Each structure stands twice: as C-alpha cells, then as structure tokens.
Structure 1
C-alpha cells in the first residue's frame, strides 16, 4: 500500500484480515494523509492539520465501519459567510434570503421571489456562472458565489463547468445544516487515532518517511498506489493540474469567530475562509483557540495537491495517463490522487472496501486485478 491515508489503511486492513501480509509505506512522518489530526500543545485543541474534514454519509455500511474503530459524536456543519459587511448563514436558506433582501417572506413567497430574480432565459446551464444565475439570480450569485469561486479556483466562474455547483443548495426553510446526509459526526479523538486502529493488525507493517520507487513494484504480489497518478510515471506526460491550500495558522485566547467555518465571499478579502478548530469538537472545552486562514492557489511542483481541476486540458492529459496505467502490471491506482477525482471521505472508504473485495475475488479466480477498480474518466 503506497499511502497510509484512508485508501491504503482500509484496503490494507481488509486484505490483512483475509490472510495477506500487507506493507504500508508513506512519504510523510505520520499516518492519516490529509485527514491527519493532532493536539495543539499550547491550547489542547484537536487540530485538523491539513484543513477540516467533516464526516457525512448516507452509506450505512461505511458509517458502521468507521464507528467500529472510533466513536463518532454528533456534529452538524453550520457554515457562515461574511459578505458585503454582513454575516449570513449558508447554504442559502430562508433566513439568508430574508436577511439579504430585508424581507419577512414565508417559504412559498420566498420560492416565488427567488424565481423572479433568476435568469429564466438560461434553460441549459453550461458554466458555473450560468448555473448560479439560473437558480438564484445576480444578487445572491455576486454575494455568495462569484468572489469565493474566483479565489478558490483562480479563474472566472464563466470558465468552470456547471457541474461544480451540482445541485445548487437553496432551501426555503430555516434549516442551516450544510449537508443533507443521514449520518454526520466527528471522531471523538480524531481521524489519526481512527486510522491507527484500522492499521492495528498483526498482518500489517507500516513504514513512514519512505518514498515509493515504482521499480520495486515487482517485489510485491500487488501494489495499491494512492499517490498522484502522474507521479507514478515521473510526470512523463506533464503534471495534472491541482489547486493547493496555504494555511495561515494563529492562536487566539478565547473564541475568535463563534463558529467552525466562516467563508469570505468578497473578492477583496484574499483568503477564502477561516476555520476555528475547537468548534469541530463541540463536546470539548478550551480557553484557547487554533484558527486557520485558508488561501487557495495553483499547486506547484512541491505543493500538496488538494483539488483536481479536471478541465478540458487536464482531462486530455488524464486520458493519456490512464492509457499508460492500463499497461502497468501489478498495480492498482486508488483514492483521490490515484484516480484524479475529488472524493469525500465516505466515498473513499466505500471504494477502498470494494477495491479490496475486487482484489480478493480476482485472487480466488486466478485472474489479474485491473489498474483501476474505479475508472477515473
């Protein structure tokens, strides 16, 4: 297993339970990948080192799986945004609409009013901007989406596909729960402890601060690679595009912003949001606080890749790498980086469990495991 994050840990655990000897390596000095959590020695706050990860899913099997390794306590993600000198609730809901327009609309009235603001001439939105204008109109688009998106993706919303917005979250009631999923929570003692328990099996050996050399692949029965797909081939065809994040971390004595996530929709504010990490564990009490200002930019050669861009140019390069990966023997590319897709944690775990099952089925049948259990294109 190349990578000691969720993909490598979950696949490794399932194969170890089936009797395989599993070696897991990671180039970092810790397990957990970007989900890594650790206690701040000064404040005692449990910090999401690479930015916040909030667990939410409708997959009961995945929910049962993670709760088998760590206690998940209730957590509802209630996001706020500062825009045009005011603080609003996200996703856009009835409170947001009434506050923004200075109204006291009831749900049916609000639905009719927002439809009157929308650009109904756009019948088939193709871009991010068209999608937003069609469903909420120019005022809400400018306040909550335009500037934030320009900062997050480094380009005009006119250049981004409508699919990025997916189903635009607009609610005509006062529900400010950011997610729709049945199961939501946070691991009581952090993701790193959960992953450590997943890795705690006599059939698993973990080696940190180790870089993977593809030339070593034949030394193993099979390799599951969760690193960057282009990196496996030494970027021979170029680098796939990612956005990365810079964190400006600061401590504060007291409560800095009163919520876990505060977005900043105005383009003039250089950061996209501030996260206050003690609010991700509301069952704990801390006098001090740890906060991150987040800045988004294009990922460079030595940066941590966070969000795959997947526009036309990247998809063409991705297709070329997929063709090359299909020629590689004894390796399966998994996870967010290995398949160049944005994956939530629950989907990552589900795919890891299913990938392990696929491998075990191929072993039983004496057939070759494919390069991708989940096709990236």
Structure 2
C-alpha cells in the first residue's frame, strides 16, 4: 500500500484521490475552506437556490468515458446554455447564429445567403490569423467583431484583443442556422444537487484524508513521507515565482437578491466597453427543474490577478510562454511529483479535459 499526497481538491485532485484510494493511502490538502475548487456550489441560505460560487459551470463533453464516470457521483440533468449578449441596448443570441446575423443587419437571410454575406465581410487580407483580433476579422468581419467581441474581450482579458492568441476565439463558432446552444458538445448537463455533492462522494473513502485551510509550499512538503506527490496549484507559485508571475485573469462578483425573475436567462453578456461588468448570471435558471419565488444573480467583473486573488484564466501572452518554459525546465528536474490541471500546466482546460487528464494520470499509479 502506497501513500500519496494530493495538493488541491478540485476535479484534478478529487478524481486522482478517488481513483487511487482503493489500495493506497491518500492525503488531500486544500488551501480553501471547502473542497471542489472553482466548481464549488452551495445552497443560498436565504433563497435555497444552488449558487455557482465561482461562476457558471455547465458540464459539456464529447468524451463518453468522462460522461459515464462523472455520473457515478451525481444525477446529471440535461441543460442547454442559451447565452444572450447586450450590445447598444439590444439583446442578441450567442454564439453568432442566423438569428443574430439577421437581427444585427436587419435582414431575413437564408442560411446560404447569410454564409455568403458573412464571407463578403471577411478580411481577405488575413491568410493565417496571428492573434484574436485577426481571427475575428477573418471569421465575421469588422462590424460583428466590434459588437460582440472587442469590448467584451478587452474587459475580460484586460488588454487589446490583438495581444491575445488566435486560439481563444476558436471556442466561439459562427452558425448559419438558428441553433443558439452555446456549446457544440453532444453531452451537456448540470448535476441535480450541485457540484459539491460530486466531490463529497469522490472523497468519501476511509483511505482518504482531507485537510482544509492549509496552504503547502514546496519547502513544507515532506517527500520522504509519500511515495508520490500530485500538485494542482499554480506552477509559478510552486517555484516561489523565481522567474516572475505568470499572467492570469481573475473574476469577482457582486451578489444581488431580488423577487421573481431578474433577467429571464442563466447568462447574459454585456458587450459594451462602457458597462464595467462582463456578464450577469442568474442562478435559479441553472436549475429549471426547481421553483423559487426569489432570485439570486451575480454581476461578474474581470481583473488582473494579484497575490490575494484566485487565478482563473491563463493569459498565455508571449512573455508568459517564455517564462513558462523556464518553469517547465525546473519541473522536469524534479522526481516524485506530478503537475496536473489548469493551474499547474498553465493551460485553459474545461472540466471534462481536467477529468480525462486525471483519469489517465491515475492509471500510471494504480
């Protein structure tokens, strides 16, 4: 029987713990006061509404293995995320689809007509897009880019879209039909009782010990006590920022409680630069199978991550990637430790990517 230390209790750490605990001793250390990382949910004391405390999480995947795995720990209720965007006092559907195009340009295009029209707006001088802005201009042209991407992106990332990699925009399709499902994945849902139940069940095993409210630095880890260590925190923090801090954006929220229904939808983006928040999420709409007289909604704001903030989104600008190479070189010198998850590998990863990576990693140590 081996002994493993896992730092972090989000999906990376919790899946690893669940997979490794049967014939091993597992100690999970979490710096926050709760398990589940940014996927943590809890019932609002006043309204009884399940709150996504760190922002909306809609599980979506094309990985059947991951879909089947997660349902061992919850009932996944089908859920379609139909995001809206407000630009200059008009409400539009996202991703950009045939309804968005016709509404924005005051047309009644058929799919073929819309496709030809959007192609005519494309910046044909851009062969291979080198950044976010070029990717958008090549895909949808100047007007749609300015309306739905420029202001929102600048607020979200805190820099000009031309400074961001083109890969960020590849997650946002353009559709020439009336499909307003935000995600293209075939399997989509939200756990009936919230995400926290999943983590509680994953970590509920006599061979798993969980320690909350404890932040372990590299110097504090006693490697002699464990057969292997798994680290899911920020890679630059592990090395005490010896080459500098990697760029992350973080988000923070203003919470409001109201009667009835505030906005009639789970998520509405605010595309105008002049509006300080990036979006509003109204949490009762994530559980349409429930009925609530009151409502809770969060205004979401984006900012640069400082020492006291929780990092959310890796920026991956050129300077970040050069710094990351140095941290990877340090990591590769180490033995007996595996860096796993979004923060430790400095990649944007959805929940299903994180789970798949953890399942694959666990196979090497079972």
TM-score by length of 2: 0.96
Which residue is equivalent to 1:134?
138
Distance 1:168 1:289 in 2: 29
Displacement of 1:168 after TM fit?
4.5
Q: Does 1:22 align with 2:26?
A: yes
Distance 1:156 1:231 in 2: 27
Displacement of 1:167 after TM fit?
5.6
Which residue is equivalent to 2:200?
196
| Partner deviation per Cα, 1:266-323 (whole Å, 9 max, x = no partner) | 1111111001011111111111111111111110111110000111111111111111
Which residue is equivalent to 1:371?
none
Which residue is equivalent to 1:303?
309
Q: Does 1:257 align with 2:263?
A: yes
Aligned ranges 1:149-298 → 2 under 5 Å? 149-166=153-170, 168-215=172-219, 216-218=221-223, 219-298=225-304
Distance 2:172 2:40 in 1: 30
Number of equivalenced pairs: 359
8 Å Cα contact 1:132-1:168 kept in structure 2: no
8 Å Cα contact 2:164-2:315 kept in structure 1: no
Which residue is equivalent to 2:9?
4
Distance 1:62 1:240 in 2: 30
Please give the secondary structure, in 1, of the residue aligned with 2:236: helix
Q: Does 1:53 align with 2:57?
A: yes
Please give the secondary structure, in 2, of the residue aligned with 1:166: helix
Q: Does 1:337 align with 2:323?
A: no
8 Å Cα contact 2:252-2:302 kept in structure 1: yes
Structure 1 portions without partners, runs of 5+: 361-377
| Partner deviation per Cα, 1:127-157 (whole Å, 9 max, x = no partner) | 2111111111111111100100110111111
Distance 2:214 2:89 in 1: 48
Aligned ranges 1:81-96 → 2 under 5 Å? 81-96=85-100
Aligned with 2:323 (options 314, 317, 322):
317
Please give the secondary structure, in 1, of the residue aligned with 2:21: helix
Displacement of 1:329 after TM fit?
2.4
Structure 2 portions without partners, runs of 5+: 1-5
Displacement of 1:83 after TM fit?
0.4
| Partner deviation per Cα, 1:348-376 (whole Å, 9 max, x = no partner) | 0000000001223xxxxxxxxxxxxxxxx
Distance 2:339 2:222 in 1: 13
Distance 1:20 1:224 in 2: 14
Which residue is equivalent to 2:353?
347
Distance 2:351 2:63 in 1: 11
Displacement of 1:186 after TM fit?
0.2
Distance 1:167 1:39 in 2: 31
Distance 1:166 1:241 in 2: 21
Displacement of 1:122 after TM fit?
1.5
Aligned with 1:146 (options 128, 140, 150):
150
Distance 1:167 1:335 in 2: 19
Which residue is equivalent to 1:43?
47
Distance 1:257 1:284 in 2: 17
Please give the secondary structure, in 1, of the residue aligned with 2:361: helix
Distance 1:276 1:217 in 2: 44
Q: Which runs of 4+ in 1 moved over 3 A?
A: none
